[in-house]
Amino acid sequence: MTRSALPGLAIATAVLIAGLLLAFTVGRYPVSLGDLLTVLLAKVTGQTADVPTAVQSVVLQVRGPRVLAAALVGAALAVAGTAFQGLFRNPLVSPDILGASSGAALGAVTGIFFSLGVLAIQAFAFVGGLVAVAAVYVIGSAVRARDPILVLVLTGVVVGALLGAGVGLVKYLADPYNQLPAMTFWLLGSLAAANVSDLLPLFGPVAFGTAVLIALRWRMNVMSLPEEEARSLGVPTGPLRVAIVAAATLTTSASVATAGIIGWVGLVVPHLARSLVGPDFARLLPTAAILGGGYLLVIDTLARTAAEVEIPLGILTAVVGTPFFIWLLASMQRTWS
Amino acid sequence: MPINRRAFVVSGGAAVLLPCVARAATVTDATGRELPIPGKVARVFPAGPPAAILLYTLAPDLLLGWPRANRPEECAYMLPGVCARPEVGRITGRGNTANLESVIALKPDLILDVGSTSTTFVSLAERVQQQTGIPYALLDGRFDAIAATYRKLGELTGRQNDSEKLARYADDTIKATTGRIAAIEASARPRVYYARGPRGLATGLGGSINVETIEMLARNVAGGNQGGLANVSIEQVLLWNPDVIVTIDQEFAASVRGDPAWSAVKAVRDGRVHLSPKMPFGWVDFPPSVNRLIGLWWLAKILYPDKFPEDMRALTRDFYTMYYHRTPSDAQIDHVLAGRD
């Protein structure tokens, strides 16, 4: 861990800045760079900009919130994935390993099934994710086993499958003309509807969860060691595990509630960050957050500009993520050990 | 119909010999499949919501049940006894909810399906018919085929007189609305964005069943791509800048006027966001059945207010009386027209 973190962090920041610039300047609605700067400057200085209202609402109400939401969701998923991969000492773990996504999915489709409003659907998804992980944790801890981590992961897989069946049941019972398409769209993930009012409920939990994880960065390094070694170093593994799982789940559930199910980000980005700055969580967490934000920004820009019709994020992240992950597996095994 | 009569005589003879498989006539459905139809069709199983609505409007007494139970609010606009019939599930489309054994146990004389007549659904129909031994009629569910579909259903059920009346009303509605705007060139017709979902960002692409009536009278802004339902971004809607927004979502209709992200869209600025009526069945989109006929008048009026002076209330009363067999009260008509459920 003698390698300097600076070059890696610089690359990640460059990706994020490039992503932000790209995302702000391109879109379905043509906005010139001059107009964009005028609107942003006027917003900062509090003056009224001399550009058409349509351009103003594109920048401030549509594209702006969406860009910020994409960066936040990408950062949240990457941070959660990094935390879980470290906690479970397994490079194949992603943020939904303990059922956060399946629980959120069941909450959201239930909200759609009862024809609730957008806010209620998001709240259902958020709470669904939290409840699912809490249930997994309680069940997993109640089972006495030699390897508590393994039991926890297996419980997560099993409960996730059960929740998936629940999602299937609700879809099966849903009205095929109205509710079913809405559920399908939600499950594929999209930021198309992101607006200003989404930002605070997203930012709060993500910022809090990330702050907790960053505060625990040294202890997370110890948690990556085998259980006995960690205990022998005087780290209270039990309570610490609860704190890490809770913080990562909070960020995951908040992002899933806003954007729907987006896989791959939480799996791929931590590896990429690890190859940039190594396994030390003090560097890894911020790098993963920055890189995740930039990564999802690029993907979301593709999703909203490639065609008149939105391309679901879940599909794009999989199409981009799969070959990338295979390449990572083939070339970067050494960075894990 | 000499052929049918001969078939009647021949199968009538067979009916004496084999009363269980009494066959009276062969009728072809919309896909050209020949169906052996029993002499008296008294029980019909609807394969999905469009079929159930179509059958209810023509011959409510034949309807065995509904794909989904109706809500009491919906039954206020229909014959109470028929509306309250049990939920029997649906057969085709996105997975069955009806068990074929329970379909057989209901002893239908005919299974009626209305919708796509593509190869997939023809083979599904063929399969269910083979498994159950019940004739399975697949009729065309497209909007401009409604009149032909009524006539075919009349033939299948022996209700030609009633079906002719409904078919003629359908023909007249389409002719009256499209005829009056025929002189307006396509480029001069209003550009419409069809909004679904609580945030109004799901829409029907060109040629999708969801926007058939809109595309009949106006230009669909999303019509450049062919397809079904899709999600779009607000930026894309701003770029399209539609003259009129038609939505089926109450929450979206209520929130869009105050939403700053939508404020620059022409339709929102001009106050031309219209919430489609939906009781007891939606007027624009779903289920894609004859309920869209009255919606065609409604669309014509909101799209071309100068050209359609008709009183929407009178049209609604007539349509509901004729198709849903119950005359709505003035208060009910107000409720329907406000788009409430």
Q: Does residue B265 sit in helix, strand or coil? A: coil
Give the model's pLDDT for residue A236: 81
User: Do the beta carbons of residue A316 and residue A297 sit within 8 Å?
Assistant: no
Give the model's pLDDT for residue A1: 44
Domains along the sequence of chain A with CATH:
6-336 (1.10.3470.10)
Q: Of B176, B193, B216, which residue sits at a domain end?
A: B176
Q: Angle of helix A196-215 relative to helix A237-259, nearest 10 degrees?
A: 160
Residue B191 sits in the same domain as residue B237? yes
Length of chain B: 341
Residue B142 sits in the same domain as residue B21? yes
Give the model's pLDDT for residue A337: 47
* A230, A233, A239, A240: CA torsion to nearest 10: -70
What's the Cα-to-Cα distance from A294 to each of A62, A201, A267, A287, rounded to whole Å? 19, 21, 15, 11
pLDDT at B1 over 50: no
Inter-chain CB proximity B97 and A172 less than 8 Å: yes
Q: Which residues of A touch B230 (CB under 8 A)?
A: 309-310
- Facing residue for A310 by CB, picked from B198, B232, B251: B232
Q: Which residues of A touch B248 (CB under 8 A)?
A: 178
Inter-chain CB proximity A29 and B263 less than 8 Å: no
Q: Which residues of A touch B196 (CB under 8 A)?
A: 178, 181-182
For residue A124, what pLDDT band results from cuts at 50, 70 and 90? very high
Higher-pLDDT residue of A93 and B192 is B192
Task: Give the mean model confidence (pLDDT) for residues B174-194.
Answer: 94
What's the Cα-to-Cα distance from A91 to each of A4, A9, A242, B132, rounded to whole Å? 23, 21, 20, 53
Q: Which residues of A touch B261 (CB under 8 A)?
A: 57, 61-62, 195-196
Task: Give the mean model confidence (pLDDT) for residues A45-68.
Answer: 86
Higher-pLDDT residue of B95 and B318 is B318
Residue B169 sits in the same domain as residue B189? no
Inter-chain CB proximity A61 and B95 less than 8 Å: no
Inter-chain CB proximity B202 and A181 less than 8 Å: yes
Inter-chain CB proximity A57 and B264 less than 8 Å: yes
Rounded CA separation A163/B158 (Å): 49
Rounded CA separation B127/B91 (Å): 11
Length of chain A: 337
Rounded CA separation A274/A8 (Å): 9
Residue B221 sits in the same domain as residue B194? yes
Q: Which residues of B touch A178 (CB under 8 A)?
A: 196, 248, 286
Q: Angle of helix A281-305 relative to helix A196-215, nearest 10 degrees?
A: 160
pLDDT at B81 over 90: yes
Q: Which residues of B touch A52 (CB under 8 A)?
A: 264
Inter-chain CB proximity B198 and A52 less than 8 Å: no
Give the model's pLDDT for residue B19: 41
Burial of B106 by CB count in 10 Å (0-12 exposed, 13-18 middle, 19+ buried)?
Answer: middle
The separation between CA A53 and the C-alpha centre of its own chain, rounded to angstroms, equals 33
Residue B150 sits in the same domain as residue B214? no
Taking CA–CA distances from A122, the nearest residue in chain B reads: B198
What sign does the dihedral B319-B320-B321-B324 (CA atoms) show?
Answer: positive
Give the model's pLDDT for residue B62: 96
Inter-chain CB proximity A192 and B233 less than 8 Å: yes
Closest CA relative to residue B325, chosen from B61, B44, B40, B51: B61
Closest CA relative to residue A244, chosen from A74, A92, A93: A93
Helix count (H) and strand count (E) of chain B?
15, 11
pLDDT at A211 over 70: yes
Residue B206 sits in the same domain as residue B245? yes
Task: Give the mean model confidence (pLDDT) for residues A186-204.
Answer: 90
Q: Of B176, B207, B231, which residue sits at a domain end?
A: B176
List, as one string, the DSSP characters of A93-117.
--GGGGSHHHHHHHHHHHHHHTT--
Closest CA relative to residue B190, chosen from B233, B238, B245, B229: B245
Taking CA–CA distances from B67, the nearest residue in chain A reads: A175
Q: Of B176, B210, B233, which residue sits at a domain end?
A: B176
Closest CA relative to residue A6, chosen from A336, A287, A227: A287
pLDDT at B21 over 70: no
Task: Give the mean model confidence (pLDDT) for residues B22-26.
Answer: 63
Residue B139 sits in the same domain as residue B276? no
We report the CATH number of the domain holding residue B306 as: 3.40.50.1980
**Residues 43-82, chain A, touching B (beta carbon < 8 A):** 52-54, 56-58, 60-63, 66
Residue B292 sits in the same domain as residue B241? yes
**Residues 254-313, chain A, touching B (beta carbon < 8 A):** 304, 307-310, 312
pLDDT at B31 over 90: no
Residues in chain B whose Cβ is within 8 Å of chain A: 49, 68, 90, 93-95, 97, 196-199, 201-202, 205, 222, 224-225, 227, 229-236, 238-239, 241, 248, 251, 259-264, 285-288
Q: Does residue A234 sit in helix, strand or coil? A: coil
For residue A334, what pLDDT band results from cuts at 50, 70 and 90? low
- Facing residue for B201 by CB, picked from A117, A177, A192: A192
Residue B202 sits in the same domain as residue B282? yes
Residue B200 sits in the same domain as residue B121? no
Rounded CA separation B221/B217 (Å): 13
Inter-chain CB proximity B222 and A308 less than 8 Å: yes
Q: Does residue B212 sit in helix, strand or coil? A: helix
Mean residue pLDDT across chain A: 88
Give the model's pLDDT for residue B96: 65
pLDDT at A44 over 90: no
Give the model's pLDDT for residue A42: 87
Q: Provide the whole-model pTM.
A: 0.83
Inter-chain CB proximity B231 and A192 less than 8 Å: yes
Bridging pattern class, strands B34-37 and B25-28: antiparallel
What sign does the dihedral B248-B251-B255-B261 (CA atoms) show?
Answer: negative
Taking CA–CA distances from A182, the nearest residue in chain B reads: B197
Q: Which residues face B273 on adjacent strands?
A: B245
Q: Which domain holds residue B72?
A: 2-176
pLDDT at A74 over 90: yes
Any B CB within 8 A of A185 CB: yes
Nearest CA-CA distance, residue A298 and chain B, Å: 16
**A interface test, pick of B91, B114, B229, B235 with most A CB neighbours within 10 Å:** B235
Give the model's pLDDT for residue B169: 95
**Residues 302-331, chain A, touching B (beta carbon < 8 A):** 304, 307-310, 312
Inter-chain CB proximity B198 and A192 less than 8 Å: no
The predicted complex's ipTM stands at 0.76
- Facing residue for B286 by CB, picked from A53, A56, A178: A178
Burial of A277-286, coded b for 16+ CB within 10 Å and e otherwise, reads bbbbbebbbb
Rounded (5°) CA angle A137-A138-A143: 100
Rounded CA separation A187/A191 (Å): 12
User: Which residues contact residue B247 at a Cβ distance below 8 angstroms, ignoring those fewer than 6 apart?
Assistant: B194, B195, B196, B200, B253, B256, B273, B274, B275, B276
User: Do the beta carbons of residue A205 and residue A212 sit within 8 Å?
Assistant: no
pLDDT at A336 over 60: no
At position B49, the amino acid (one-letter code) is: P
Burial of A45 by CB count in 10 Å (0-12 exposed, 13-18 middle, 19+ buried)?
Answer: exposed
Mean residue pLDDT across chain B: 88
Residue A63 gets which letter from DSSP? I
Q: Which helix (H) or strand (E) holds B138?
A: strand B136-140
Burial of A30 by CB count in 10 Å (0-12 exposed, 13-18 middle, 19+ buried)?
Answer: exposed
Residue B168 sits in the same domain as residue B191? no
Give the model's pLDDT for residue A3: 59
Nearest CA-CA distance, residue A184 and chain B, Å: 11
Give the model's pLDDT for residue A332: 58
User: Two tokens at B281?
Assistant: 């069945």
A228-287 tens-digit pLDDT = 788 788 878 888 889 999 999 999 999 999 999 998 899 989 988 988 898 899 999 999
Q: Which residues of B touch A195 (CB under 8 A)?
A: 259, 261
B125-179 tens-digit pLDDT = 888 888 888 999 999 999 999 999 999 999 999 999 999 999 999 999 999 999 9
Inter-chain CB proximity B197 and A56 less than 8 Å: no
- Facing residue for B235 by CB, picked from A28, A182, A195: A28
Inter-chain CB proximity A54 and B285 less than 8 Å: no
Inter-chain CB proximity A192 and B68 less than 8 Å: no
Residue B21 sits in the same domain as residue B166? yes
Give the model's pLDDT for residue A324: 81
Q: Which residues of B touch A118 (CB under 8 A)?
A: 198-199, 251
Domain count, chain B: 2
